[in-house]
Chains A and B, each alone.
Chain A
Amino acid sequence: MPSRREFIQAGLAASVVPVAFPVAESAPVASVPHIAAFSSHRLTHVVCDARFRSSQAVAIEAARLGLPVVSIDGDISDFWFHDLAPVWSTAPHAIAGLTAHGPLFCLERFGWDHGLRVVFRGVHRFEGDHVEHSLSGPFRTIAAAHGTLVADDWPTHLTRLLNSCAVTHDTASTTVRGAVGGGRERDSDDTLCTLFTLFSWVIAPKHADPAAAMRRS
């Protein structure tokens, strides 16, 4: 188990100012040219739940971005035992994903044991032909999300948000209502699913130093 001191660096931004953005049903897709200038968590894995088309879309975009993609079917056992536990036991790094609740519940708690926390959390409630995205996380990431998740290609934009999750300690939240994306979800009997919830998340070292992250990126 790494020392917590390894994650405590000088010069942390100490202020935490939760900011809530208003609900937006439609807005022009926002480009955030300054994202690249900010430090972001480097992801060692992007976890996708293969049961859900939206999550499959995240996997496609993550692969396009050159990120290592892990595909699960709701069960994190093999990922944890063979991939993540050995990595986190020596050098906990950030991971992200779009999954059902169970994988997030498990990975978040495994993360606690290794000095990591959920630094970005999205709840995506599918209800019929629309989806409500409730996001909380770093101010800059939430600001970048504003307006990008309303169209049906939201999983693609979500992936980019996860990949650029800012290393800061300020937080904000927003709720966005948009179209169902990634194709309509169907269960194993090919029955249309209209009522379910997915969760997007970034789990990262809780005392990551923005300056150090900037130097690495």
Chain B
Amino acid sequence: MAVPPGVSTRDWETALRQFRQAVGESWVFTSDDDIALYRDAYSPLWGEPEERLVSAALAPDTTEQVSAVVRTANQFRIPVFPISTGKNLGYGGSAPNLSGSVVIDLKRMNRVVEVDDTRHFAIVEPGVAYFDLYRHIQERRLNVWIDCPDPGWGSPVGNSLDHGVGYTFGAYRDHFHSHCGLEAVLPNGDVVRTGMGALPGAKTWAEYRYGFGPTVDGLFAQGNLGIVTKMGFHLLPAPEAYQTSIVTVPRRRDIVPLVDLINELEHQALVGMPEYFSPLGGFGRPGPPPQEFVALMQRPGGPTDEEFDRYAQQRNAGAWSCRLQFYGSPKVVAAHLEHAKDRFAAVVAGSTFQDGELLRFPLNAEQLDRVHKVAVGIPNMSIFSIGARTELNPSPSDGHLWFSPIIPKSGEAVLEAQRVFMDAFAKLGMPSMVSPFTMPATWMHRAFIFIMAFPISRSNVAQNQRTRTVFRELVKVAAEHGWGEYRTAPVFQDDVMAAYSFNNHSLLRLHEAIKDAVDPNGIVAAGRSGIWPRHLRRTRA
């Protein structure tokens, strides 16, 4: 049986007895078979000595049980690592930063505390999955939408606390931004509620997030000051209709006014999440790139904008496109779409629109089959139906790792990021994961995420080692250009936090000071976001 680091066998056995008394014997997991379930399925360290593994797991059912568990952990200085539904694939899964930690699995805390569809909010426990909240809303025919990421098995609480994101409208898809108040168990076992939750009897917990005094909620997101046991969320009132329209601009440099105009539309709340792409493709499309494109890329000094434009004209395709998404009543949708067309006609010569069908809710079965479900707040697992072994993909990866730097929301920034990362891959001597047509993700409504997926193998250690080296190098390259990751797996969290180095890493020093005050024994999520407790700060490399 594994023993957590720094804990004597005797103390561990005593702690296990106390854990069992707190949560029930059935809910303390120490067998190899059980704790193996908490391995990160997409770990870039799979099978290596440095892979982050747990010593045990336990599954409390109530805030009181969490508090009891934490008090025991504090008594014996046992490192704990809370997870909600444990599905943070690509960013560490359910594995801790510190090997040997005890996972506090909050899946049993799966109550939907409240959903109000006239004030548009929900309060949920961490074990509630997006599927669960969606079912709760559907069964009661409530007039609100959730905003969910691609796999619907994640937790609104867990996802938001890792700054996770979704697909619908405005700030709703920045999940931490749309939270409102939380309850957390502190490392000493004390229970705190933030915002209006701190005022007994307040009915505005999930409406007004500030309460009074300094707002501390952010310290729990990507933080390690406590275990969140409830959260409020603002929800989008269910719109009557939805329509998409794809705007295409002809020239490479049109990316600048394209993004500027769409920023204007989005920040005025006239469109939902814009989805940028290039009709000229690039990576990710089946088959090798066209010979003509390969020749273009191999020109000394690279292709000019004019050559790109000629290439696009010859293919009878534009240079850039964006799928705009409109929500609201049919009249509002029509008005916003007309306004978008007017703006583009005035600014970008040659821009064209291709309207999709106006969909009125509820959708019929055929429409449900066609629509991009997360764009209309429907959780699903369709993302896992891709990536199978085929002739075009004879050696599919066993998982992926997201490299996700934040860049400014401008066309100039996109072109710069393409150039910088293509150069970086060339210097690293590996095929580029970025092309002149790569566009950023737009999940965050006030910034771009220039995201790349690195393959992970469960059998090729050398490949994973190389991936980690490249990843760390790209973190540095990004930082040199003022781009930092918004989220990353535990193995890279020290590297990413080191990039946020203003004033001799004053941000990290502040985090450490708060950590030392609130969690002097350093038991909760040691190392999360590069914030280590004092006793481990001395020993880490």
Q: Could you tell me which A residues sit within 8 Å of B by CB distance?
A: 1, 3-5, 73-77, 80-81, 85, 100-103, 105-106, 109-110, 112-113, 117, 125, 187, 193-197, 206
Residue of B nearest to A72 (CB): B385
Taking a contact as CB atoms under 8 Å apart, the answer to whether B388 and A100 are in contact is yes
Say if the beta carbon of B212 comes within 8 Å of chain A. Answer: no
Known contacts A76-B381, A80-B131; is-contact A102 B389 (Cβ 8 Å)? no
- Seed contacts A100-B385, A196-B389; 12 additional CB < 8 Å A-B pairs: A1-B108, A1-B110, A77-B152, A77-B381, A77-B382, A80-B381, A102-B385, A102-B386, A102-B387, A103-B385, A109-B87, A187-B390
Over the window 109-122 of chain B, the binary record of Cβ atoms lying under 8 Å from chain A Cβ atoms (1 yes, 0 no) is 01000000000000
* 28 pairs, A vs B, C-beta closer than 8 Å: A1-B107, A1-B110, A4-B27, A73-B385, A74-B385, A74-B386, A76-B381, A76-B384, A77-B152, A77-B380, A77-B382, A85-B131, A102-B384, A102-B385, A102-B388, A105-B384, A106-B381, A106-B384, A109-B41, A109-B87, A110-B153, A113-B107, A187-B390, A193-B390, A194-B391, A195-B390, A195-B394, A196-B388
Known contacts A1-B108, A100-B388, A113-B107; is-contact A75 B394 (Cβ 8 Å)? no
Q: Could you tell me which B residues sit within 8 Å of A by CB distance?
A: 26-27, 33, 37, 41, 85, 87, 107-108, 110, 131, 135, 151-153, 373, 379-382, 384-391, 394, 396
Residue of B nearest to A73 (CB): B385
Taking a contact as CB atoms under 8 Å apart, the answer to whether A75 and B385 are in contact is yes
CA distance A85 to B379 in the complex (A): 14
Taking a contact as CB atoms under 8 Å apart, the answer to whether A75 and B380 are in contact is yes
Residue of B nearest to A110 (CB): B153
Identify whether the interface residues of A are mostly helix, strand, loop, or mixed. Answer: mixed
Residue of A nearest to B85 (CB): A113
A171: min CB distance to chain B, Å = 12
CA distance A27 to B285 in the complex (A): 43
CA distance A112 to B108 in the complex (A): 13
Residue of A nearest to B134 (CB): A81
Taking a contact as CB atoms under 8 Å apart, the answer to whether A75 and B391 are in contact is no
Question: Which 5 residue pairs are nearest across A and B when measured between Cβ atoms?
Answer: A74-B385, A102-B384, A77-B380, A4-B26, A197-B389
Neighbouring A residues of B151 by C-beta, 8 Å: 106
CA distance A23 to B107 in the complex (A): 42
Taking a contact as CB atoms under 8 Å apart, the answer to whether B26 and A112 are in contact is no
Neighbouring B residues of A110 by C-beta, 8 Å: 153
A123: min CB distance to chain B, Å = 10
Neighbouring B residues of A77 by C-beta, 8 Å: 152, 373, 379-382
CA distance A101 to B399 in the complex (A): 12
CA distance A100 to B381 in the complex (A): 14
Neighbouring A residues of B37 by C-beta, 8 Å: 112
CA distance A125 to B390 in the complex (A): 11
B537: min CB distance to chain A, Å = 34
Taking a contact as CB atoms under 8 Å apart, the answer to whether B131 and A103 are in contact is no
B184: min CB distance to chain A, Å = 23
Neighbouring B residues of A125 by C-beta, 8 Å: 389
CA distance A109 to B299 in the complex (A): 48
Taking a contact as CB atoms under 8 Å apart, the answer to whether A109 and B26 are in contact is no
Residue of A nearest to B387 (CB): A102
CA distance A187 to B37 in the complex (A): 34
